[in-house]
Structures are given as structure tokens and as C-alpha cells.
Amino acid sequence: MRPPLFIYGTLLDRRIRFRLLRRWALHLGPKARLSNHTCVYVFGKAYPSVKKNSGASTDGRLIYNLPTSIISILDDYESPEFLEEKIKVNVSGRMLSARCYIAKDNVRLSKTRWRHNSRLWQRNVEKYIRCYFSPSLS
């Protein structure tokens, strides 16, 4: 069985999650924390990635048992700037293996922290949806 997917950033927003994952968006697992990484904007973009940062952490959720069809949709959503990597996350004090989409080394990252519950994201989420989703996904 594949390890669960650790989601953070735009995928924590239920509107984005439902557009991509459809009914699988309801299958959120436990809260999880990725240690020694911070969630920052991809430079010049409205979405984030995580980058290594000693002492920092990024909160997210796990999703288990995603079918291949949904993983393909996520690969398209995250590509070409992101790769799926194996990571370890903390879930209620236990370290678990997971998968996570992280920006490739050649992607320039901002120093500005990204928060899914920030006013900036809440003001811009609908614009993000219009810009990043084709009519077939909306």
C-alpha cells in the first residue's frame, strides 16, 4: 500500500480540494506536521511550496488510499514545478511515512510565509481558482 499523501498549502482549502479530488476530498485523515520545513510562496505565484528550514514546521493533513486516477489529477495540478517526495510527518507524536509534493530545486521560492487561513489567501482564492483551473475541473 502506498503511504498517505501529506497535503498543505492550497490543498488545505476545501474549495480547491473538492475541485481536484472530488469525493475523495471528504477522506481527510489526521492532522500532521512536517518538521524542519516552512511553507513559503513560490516566487511570483499565488501558491506555496515547502522548503527546508531548521526548527520550522508546516501543518497539513494526510489523505489515505487515493486511487491512481486522482493521483494523476494531482500530478497534473502540481506539475511541472513539483515532484512527489517521500517524507516523515508527525501525527500525534508518532512519526509516519508519507508522500508530499515539493518544488523542484530549480523553482525559486520566496521568503514570504504562506498561510491557508490568511486574509490574503481568502481574498484571492476565487481569483486563483479562475486562473489555475480549466473549465473542465471547475
- Domains in the chain: boundaries: 5-132
pLDDT of residue 138: 42
Overall pTM surpassing 0.85 (yes/no):
yes
The C-alpha atoms of residue 83 and residue 79 are separated, in whole angstroms, by 7
Give the pLDDT confidence of 28-45 residue by residue, as tens digits. Answer: 899 999 999 999 999 988
Q: What end-to-end distance do the CA atoms of the chain give, in Å?
A: 30
At the topology level of CATH, where does 5-132 sit? Hypothetical upf0131 protein ytfp (3.10.490)
Closest CA to 9 of 133, 138, 131, 117: 117
- Residue 113, amino acid: R
The C-alpha atoms of residue 24 and residue 106 are separated, in whole angstroms, by 31
pLDDT per residue, tens digit, the chain (138 aa), is 789 999 999 999 888 998 888 887 777 899 999 999 999 999 988 899 999 999 999 999 999 999 999 999 999 999 899 999 999 999 999 999 999 999 999 999 999 998 877 787 877 888 888 887 755 544
Residue 92 burial by CB count (10 A; 0-12/13-18/19+): exposed, middle or buried? exposed
